[in-house]
């Protein structure tokens, strides 16, 4: 059997499996993938913040989380694989499969981080590029929104991962932080806004600014430990918080739970300096893409 026929046969079996599962359960695939990505990333963020507050966590909780923490990337990795199985677009399927598959490879050994990071970034570039081309072709006026936001967040991932790999971290780490915050703040460009979501974003941004002014050292520590923010101006932090919250509220008000999860993942991931956050960003970009209807699992 030729490689082309083998690929076609594999795709047919995968499509048949998805169709079979779709008839058995009412659970939507995209929201499920969103939850799989959001819960471990948000949990990791909360733990990192709580663990740096003296006396906030008991020793038993810390020991338990220490055991679980190396495996939290399983959630967003499986989310990527689930989204890959749910789409019928070859480019997006291949990219998401790379993101999820190489995300799991990172768990194999400490030395697997470099090939895993390269595979995740390559897959992320592939899937976001495929979605960007589809978005542009569908509507050349409105379709420019996704390519622009995706490009900003992809630059943030690449710069942050390069810094973590030890390549000029003094340059790339602040660059990744600043670009990531700017990209998170652009979330409403993808999901839209209304008066209530904009008001919620303004309030959230104002609270972030107030915290930075009144408690600068505490805010800086939280941003560093929780969000991985290094060398970014506070204005970008305020923009990221306000824009991220506005996008999250807008998606929830429209009943778009998958896109709300995508916005939540971006907010919780912060600067994608480690593989868990990079996985989250690419899964979030897939969830935030315009996907009318949706498959079911």
Q: How many Å apart are CA 33 and CA 44, to the nearest integer?
A: 17
DSSP calls for 122-145: HHHHHHHHHHHHHHHHH-TTGGGH
Per-residue pLDDT of the chain (297 residues; tens, 9 = 90+): 454 554 455 455 545 544 544 444 435 889 999 999 999 999 999 888 887 776 667 777 777 777 888 889 999 999 999 999 888 888 899 999 999 999 998 887 777 888 999 999 999 999 999 999 888 877 665 678 899 999 999 999 999 999 999 999 999 999 999 999 999 999 999 998 899 999 999 999 999 999 999 989 888 888 998 889 999 999 999 999 999 999 999 999 999 999 999 999 999 999 999 999 999 999 999 999 876 433 333
Nearest Cα to Cα of residue 80 among 101, 103, 100, 107: 100
Map tokens 């999820």 to a residue. Answer: 100
Q: What is the pLDDT of residue 128?
A: 94
Q: What is the pLDDT of residue 15?
A: 52
The domain locations on the chain are: 29-53+71-289
> Is residue 267 classed exposed, middle or buried when 0-12, 13-18 and 19+ CB atoms within 10 A define those classes?
buried
pTM to 2 decimal places? 0.86
Secondary structure letter of residue 296 according to DSSP: B
Secondary structure letter of residue 255 according to DSSP: T
């Amino acid at each position: 059997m030729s490689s082309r026929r083998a690929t076609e046969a594999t795709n047919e079996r995968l499509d048949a499996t998805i169709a079979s599962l779709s008839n058995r359960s009412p659970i939507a695939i995209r929201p499920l993938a969103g939850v799989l990505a959001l819960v471990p990333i948000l949990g990791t963020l909360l733990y990192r913040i709580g663990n740096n507050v003296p006396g906030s966590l008991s020793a038993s909780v810390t020991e338990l989380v220490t055991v679980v923490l190396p495996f939290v990337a399983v959630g967003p990795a499986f989310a990527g694989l689930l989204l890959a199985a749910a789409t019928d677009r070859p480019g997006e399927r291949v990219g998401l499969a790379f993101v999820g598959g190489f995300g799991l490879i990172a768990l194999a050994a400490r030395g697997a981080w470099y090939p895993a990071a390269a595979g995740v970034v390559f897959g992320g570039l592939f899937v976001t590029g495929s979605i960007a081309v589809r978005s542009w072709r569908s509507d050349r006026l409105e379709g420019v929104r996704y390519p622009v936001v995706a490009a900003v967040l992809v630059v943030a991932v690449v710069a942050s991962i390069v810094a973590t790999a030890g390549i000029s971290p003094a340059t790339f780490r602040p660059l990744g932080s600043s670009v990531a915050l700017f990209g998170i703040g652009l979330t409403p460009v993808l999901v839209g806004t209304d008066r209530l979501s904009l008001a919620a974003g303004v309030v959230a941004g104002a609270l972030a600014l107030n915290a930075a002014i009144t408690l600068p050292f505490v805010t800086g520590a939280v941003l560093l430990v929780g969000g991985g923010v290094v060398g970014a101006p506070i204005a970008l932090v305020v923009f990221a918080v306000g824009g991220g919250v506005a996008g999250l509220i807008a998606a929830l008000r429209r009943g778009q739970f998958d896109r709300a999860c995508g916005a939540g993942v971006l907010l919780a991931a912060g600067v994608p300096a480690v593989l868990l956050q990079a996985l989250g960003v690419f899964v979030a970009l897939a969830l935030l893409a315009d996907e009318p209807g949706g498959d079911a699992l």
